Amino acid sequence: MIIENLKLIGEKTLTEVAEASTLATLDEVRVRVLGKKGALSEILKGLGSASPAERPVIGAAANEWKKKLETALDERKVSLEQIVLDAKIRDERSDVSLPSRMPHRGSLHPITQTTRKLVKIFSRIGFDLNTGPEIESEYLNFDAVNIPADHPARDMQDTFFAGPGVVLRTHTTPVQIRTMKSEKWPVRILSPGAVYRNDSDATHSPMFHQIEGLWIDRGVTMSDLKGTLSFFARELFGSETKIRLRPSYFPFVEPGAEVDVSCFLCRLKISPTCKVCRGSGWIEILGAGMVHPRLFEAVGYGDAYLREGLTGFAFGIGIERVAMLLHEIPDLRLMYDGDVRFLSQF
């Protein structure tokens, strides 16, 4: 009787195992038959009431079924797992045509971009790059470029002193002296770099950038200066750009001029609402002039100036100012805050 029951349960279970289509159903079958309170265990519990002669026979049959079912369950489990894996491999195939996630890329700072732009323009007409130190002697920053000791520009209010006779350069003009002292004329150089002044508001920063230009040769004239700057202005702001020179004073040039470019936004139509020129039609962008003979004396070019017709022109451009004009940046301080929302626009 019990043997028959065993056979019945065993065969039914084998069918259920074969038909189980998911791992969960299979597990449910295993628990129902082989679990602690499962059908097979229940039969074995009733073994006590069987006769001593029957007991080993039933026991052996029950163990045999148990092994048989366990094997069947294991095999089915392996094949169901394989089915699940196959489905996963099929469905989760990666789509190689999907665009990949882009790594975040930084960008060049607007000051660096503007500097490179200016250097590129001047390098096309033969200006070589030269740089000088940011910590400069008071002599080269001031005396050698004709700014005497009693000149207001040397005031402690404007200049950062780094030690006795040593300053953070207040302009790139001392590079003119360094270049002429270390090289024989002709020279034609461009020198970008940071400069420092004790000043801070929406249009002034204690550290900012300039580009100094210098061209020294026999017979260099004011019209060469005008032609050079006119080329520069057209390259930077567009081919219709005009320039105008207004007489001005800088100790290291004579004559000196402030140079304006025609407004690249309203194009000299002189709109009173123009954001860039505010209705004047012109924008001041740099200072320039013919190199003062005192600079030639300071570097040992004095003789050539007097006897060989050596002359030259120089100019100084504020890089931040150009960057602000080109990109319509309203406040200088934005350029030093390091705010990624601002910087990522460039």
Applying CB under 6 A, the residues found at the interface with ligand DAH are 171, 173, 212, 250, 253, 287-289, 314-316
The least distance separating ligand DAH from the CB of residue 333, rounded to whole angstroms, comes to 20
Which residue sits closest to ligand DAH, CB atoms considered? 316
The least distance separating ligand DAH from the CB of residue 212, rounded to whole angstroms, comes to 6
The C-alpha atoms of residue 251 and residue 158 are separated, in whole angstroms, by 16
Q: What are the angstrom distances between the C-alpha of 142 and each of 24, 192, 197, 240, 313?
A: 88, 18, 14, 38, 18
* Nearest CB to ligand DAH, comparing residues 146 and 262: 146
The least distance separating ligand DAH from the CB of residue 176, rounded to whole angstroms, comes to 7
* Nearest CB to ligand DAH, comparing residues 43 and 319: 319
Long-range contacts of 243-249 (CB under 8 A, 24+ apart): 244/282, 245/288, 248/287, 248/289
Q: What are the angstrom distances between the C-alpha of 184 and each of 161, 178, 190, 216, 301?
A: 31, 11, 16, 10, 9
The least distance separating ligand DAH from the CB of residue 210, rounded to whole angstroms, comes to 6
Q: Return the exposure string of 199-211: e unless at least 16 CB atoms fall within 10 Å of the residue's CB, then b.
A: eeeeeebeebbbb
The C-alpha atoms of residue 278 and residue 276 are separated, in whole angstroms, by 6
Q: What angle do CA 207, 210, 216 make, to 5 degrees?
A: 145
* Nearest CB to ligand DAH, comparing residues 62 and 211: 211
Tokens of 152: 């207001």
* Nearest CB to ligand DAH, comparing residues 10 and 287: 287
211 contacts 115 by C-beta, under 8 angstroms: yes
The least distance separating ligand DAH from the CB of residue 104, rounded to whole angstroms, comes to 37
244 contacts 260 by C-beta, under 8 angstroms: yes
The least distance separating ligand DAH from the CB of residue 306, rounded to whole angstroms, comes to 21
* Nearest CB to ligand DAH, comparing residues 30 and 292: 292
The least distance separating ligand DAH from the CB of residue 297, rounded to whole angstroms, comes to 17
* Nearest CB to ligand DAH, comparing residues 76 and 197: 197
- Residue type (1 letter), 28: E
* Nearest CB to ligand DAH, comparing residues 38 and 174: 174
Q: What DSSP character marks residue 201?
A: B
